[in-house]
Amino acid sequence: MTKQLPTHVHLHGALCPLQNARVSVFDRGFLYGDGLFETVRAYSGRPLALATHLARLRSSAHLLGIPLPRRPWAADIARLLRRNRLHDTDASVRITVTRGTAIPGLLPPTRPRPTVLIAATPLDEAIVEAQLRGARAVLLPFSRDGFLAEHKLLDYLPGVLGKVIAKRRQAFEAFYVNTAGYVTEGTTTNLFVCHRRRLITPPAEGILPGVTRSLVLALAAASGVRVTEKRLKAQDLFSADELFVTSSVAEVVPIIKLDERRIGNGRVGPLTQRLQGLYRQLVDKILQRS
Ligand SMILES: Cc1ncc(COP(=O)(O)O)c(C=O)c1O
């Protein structure tokens, strides 16, 4: 199926046909990447863990000094999904917030009026296949580091380049490797390895503290799996029994090949499968409550 643009977006506080959606050429998001975003997965019209995503958005907006407008986010998203006929399927919902339009110059305006865009698209079909059969990842010769990496800022050029490299090598994901040789995270995912039934993931410093990462860590701990947060080198990934990545959109995706090497026996491992199942159960439970 070829991907299509949505017919409507939610912009400046209202639903709007795509062809009428306009953002100023002096919007600071466009000029400087001065803004941030969140991506939430909606299951049959219901966004999962929206409050957690909004809390992360709010805290990053606060750090940047961008006043996040008060919106009935859940209602905005529900209307957008219905309008695009994405209410009875799974969809990816992106909330983008920029500091808004101002006279050009790096110094931000004292009273910014943020631009808020909400857009929804159908899920990438490759995700289902990757979840089921496992996928390939590659190591990148660069990273996205420092405290800014802990926020979902608009500047995703390392991710763009990473995805280009992944695609060229027919991989689902690409992992950042920093100058100290540590593998930090994927372009849009957090990473986990399983060594002798122990689950290890890099600590949430200098990486995006994923909503799914937290959910999976809690699920693993609650089901008796030993969990450690520890920095990982490429060799720790190559020697892992299992390797998987997590994100709101992709949930839990097994990685069975890294660069040219098989991970474990090259098949989806039992712990990954168990966590995929537990995550699905959690999704059902959360959605039943909402
Ligand atoms: C760099 C990066 N790391 C990790 C994640 C996973 O985060 P979450 O589980 O909150 O979707 C993302 C999601 O887009 C990301 O961009």
Condensed to tens digits (0 to 9), the pLDDT of residues 220-256 reads 999 999 999 999 999 999 999 999 999 999 999 999 9
For the segment 281-285, the average pLDDT, to the nearest whole number, is 94
Instruction: Say how many Å lie between the CA of residue 270 and the centre of ligand 1.
Output: 24
Nearest residue CA, atom 7 of ligand 1?
210
Q: Ligand 1, residues 96, 150, 152, 188: which to mutate, most atoms within 8 A of Cβ?
A: 188
Give pLDDT tens digits for 255-265. Answer: 999 999 999 99
Instruction: Say how many Å lie between the CA of residue 48 and the centre of ligand 1.
Output: 14
pLDDT tier at 35 (50, 70, 90 boundaries)?
A: very high
Give pLDDT tens digits for 156-181. Answer: 999 999 999 999 999 999 999 999 99
Instruction: Say how many Å lie between the CA of residue 256 and the centre of ligand 1.
Output: 20
Q: Measured from the CB, is residue 49 less than 6 Å from ligand 1?
A: no
Q: Measured from the CB, is residue 188 less than 6 Å from ligand 1?
A: yes
Instruction: Say how many Å lie between the CA of residue 210 and the centre of ligand 1.
Output: 5
Query: Whole-prediction pTM value?
Result: 0.96
Give pLDDT tens digits for 56-65. Answer: 999 999 999 9
**For the range 10-17, what are the long-range contacts, defined as Cβ-Cβ under 8 Å and sequence gap of 24 or more?**
10/76, 10/77, 10/79, 10/80, 10/116, 10/117, 10/118, 10/119, 11/115, 11/116, 11/117, 11/118, 12/115, 12/116, 13/69, 13/71, 13/116, 15/79, 15/80, 15/83
Buried (b) or exposed (e) across 86-104, using 16+ Cβ within 10 A?
bbeebbbbebbbbbbbbee
For the segment 284-290, the average pLDDT, to the nearest whole number, is 84
pLDDT tier at 72 (50, 70, 90 boundaries)?
A: very high
**Cα of 264 vs its chain's centroid, Å:** 26
Sign of the dihedral through C-alpha 260, 266, 270, 275: positive
Nearest residue CA, atom 5 of ligand 1?
189
Q: Measured from the CB, is residue 210 less than 6 Å from ligand 1?
A: yes
Q: Measured from the CB, is residue 184 less than 6 Å from ligand 1?
A: no
Q: Ligand 1, residues 50, 189, 248, 275: which to mutate, most atoms within 8 A of Cβ?
A: 189
Q: Measured from the CB, is residue 247 less than 6 Å from ligand 1?
A: yes
**pLDDT higher than threshold 60 for residue 1:** no
- CA-closest candidate to residue 191, choices 135, 152, 151: 135
pLDDT tier at 2 (50, 70, 90 boundaries)?
A: low
For the segment 127-140, the average pLDDT, to the nearest whole number, is 97
Q: Among all chains, which residue has been given the structure tokens 């907006």?
A: 61
Q: Measured from the CB, is residue 115 less than 6 Å from ligand 1?
A: no
Give pLDDT tens digits for 190-206. Answer: 999 999 999 999 999 99
**pLDDT higher than threshold 60 for residue 273:** yes
286 against 192, higher pLDDT: 192
Instruction: Say how many Å lie between the CA of residue 101 and the centre of ligand 1.
Output: 27
**pLDDT higher than threshold 80 for residue 38:** yes
